Structure 1
Amino acid sequence: MSTPLTVDIWSDIACPWCYIGKRKFEAGLAALPDADDVVVTYRSFELSPDTPLDFEGSAVDFLSEHKGIPADQVEAMLGQVTEIARSVGLSYDFAAVRQTKTLVAHEALHHAKAHGRQLELVERLLAAYFEEGRHLGRAEEVADLAAEVGLDRDDVLRALETHEHADAVQADIAQARAYGITGVPFFVIDGRYGISGAQNPEVFTAALEQVRAERAGVAS
């Protein structure tokens, strides 16, 4: 039995390009023959670690105040991102987005990974953040969403309140730093090849096919 081909995705649930990139990667993966041998793992990355838990204001306010971008430029940028998201089937609602520190969400994703539900939870959290205006800095709300994908709510809440997976989150962040990752999404294929950003599906398909061919060459 061959060793599965791995894809590690550094991502943040507060990153609009990460959700878009997820959709494009999934399309690229779906075009790959025999994609069942590809194991996908989401890794933690904090885009804005200085974000307060309860930011009072809109996404426009946050980017204007914290990033020093003029409000009119922010509005134009978010409008463009919303259109790109729509092109891959996503309905972003930046007016409803609750800016917050994302460590709790990352800890929940590690908990979900340990229980075989990470891919389901990352999808649920991204939808909750960008399309539903949910507050993902609150452990109770994250636990509610985790329960929706089949995890035990009380166990998730316990893990979040005790920060059971805090070290795993920091290990991901440290690995990103070691790789030189400064922005997300960032895809690492087979621990060897990196792809930065929300690339078109065919980029992912070609990269996966190349790694698979190289493996076959080594094996032969």
Structure 2
Amino acid sequence: MTEKIKIDVWSDIACPWCYIGKRNLENGLAQTAADSDAPQVEVTFHSYELSPDTPVDFEGDEIDFLAGHKGMPRERVKEMLDNVTGVAAKAGLEYRFDLLQHTNTVKAHELLHFAKAQGRQHEMAERLMSAYFTEGRHVGRIDDLVELATEAGLDADAARDALQSGRYLAHVHADQAQAQAYGIQGVPFFVIDGKYGVSGAQPADAFAQIARQVWAEKQQTAPQQA
């Protein structure tokens, strides 16, 4: 029996390319599902904070944040956001930067680790990114995160306790340390079976191709059953 391909994804909730990369990965894997010998894949999300110094309640919109954080002219920032909105649309995502509430994402990452322990990390990652980029929901405050957790099928009281206690913060820091060890300097970043690194929101076709390639490699090296 060939072991599943392990895909480890480093991303940030507040990274527009990370949501696009997530959806392209899912669409790419969906392309392989009809294969006679479809690759078996296990995807795990890992924490990466692009701007850990961001306040929980940022005053201003996304243009204000990027213009201040990156020192870019506002018109250039607007062009950049229009571009990523167009790319997102091709992936089937409707970005609403006009509604987006910029915030610190560390608590959202803690919630992802709590969700992973409950077997619902994928549902939580999707709920957080959709809430942030398409619905204008706040993903930095505990009350808002608990509400999103319940929408992803998690227990409200358990989620609140996990966030208030901060017991998953060490997991967030461990992911960030691993990213540093890998030399990851930007996200999304995909580590395929611990040996291939894929940077950026690659097209769905690229993810389908690498899944098929790695699956074929694994089958060639897998021990044969007697």
Residue 42 of structure 1: aligned partner: 45
Residue identity opposite 1:74 in structure 2: V
What RMSD in Å do the two structures reach over aligned CA positions? 1.2
Q: Which amino acid aligns with 1:123?
A: E
1:145 counterpart letter in structure 2:
L
TM-score by length of 1: 0.97
Conserved? CA contact 1:29–1:35, under 8 Å: no
Whole-Å Cα distance in 1 between the matches of residues 92 and 40 of structure 2? 26
Classify the secondary structure of the residue corresponding to 1:6: strand
| Residue of 151, 165, 170 corresponding to 1:148 | 151
String of CA shifts for 1:14-68, please: whole Å, max 9, x gaps. 0000111111111111112355721111000001111111110000000001110
What is the CA-CA distance between 1:202 and the residue it aligns to?
1.4
Q: Is the 8 A contact 2:52 2:104 kept in 1?
A: yes
Of 121, 127, 138, the match for 1:118: 121
**92, 96, 99: which is aligned to 1:93?**
96
Which residue of 1 is the match for residue 31 of structure 2?
Answer: 31
Give the equivalent residue in structure 1 for 2:8. Answer: 8
1:77-107 Cα deviation digits (max 9, x unpaired): 1011111111111111101111111000000
Structure-1 residue corresponding to 2:166: 163
Q: Distance in 2 between matches of 1:36 and 1:96?
A: 38
Unaligned runs of 5+ in 2: none
SS in 1 for 2:89: helix
Q: 1:52 aligned to 2:52?
A: no
Letter in 2 for 1:205: A
Shifted more, 209-218 versus 60-69: the winner is: 209-218
Which residue of the other structure, out of 195, 203, 208, is the alignment partner of 2:206?
A: 203
Given the alignment, which residue of 125, 133, 137 partners 1:134? 137
Identity of aligned residues (%): 55
Q: Is the 8 A contact 2:39 2:211 kept in 1?
A: no
Shift of 1:210: 1.4
Distance in 1 (alpha carbons) for counterparts of 2:117 and 2:40: 19
Please state if 1:187 is matched with 2:190.
yes
Once residues 164 and 36 of structure 1 are traced to their aligned partners in structure 2, the CA distance between those partners, rounded to angstroms, is: 35
Cα distance in structure 2, aligned partners of 1:98 and 1:145: 15
TM-score by length of 2: 0.94
**Which stretches of structure 1, 4 residues or more, deviate above 4 A after TM superposition?**
none
1:54 & 1:149 partners in 2: Cα distance?
23
Question: What is the distance in 1 between the residues matched to 2:134 and 2:65?
Answer: 18
Question: Does structure 1 conserve the Cα–Cα contact (< 8 Å) formed by 2:2 and 2:219?
Answer: no
**What is the distance in 2 between the residues matched to 1:91 and 1:190?**
31
Confirm or deny that 1:63 pairs with 2:66: yes
Which amino acid counterpart does residue 173 of structure 1 have in structure 2? Answer: Q
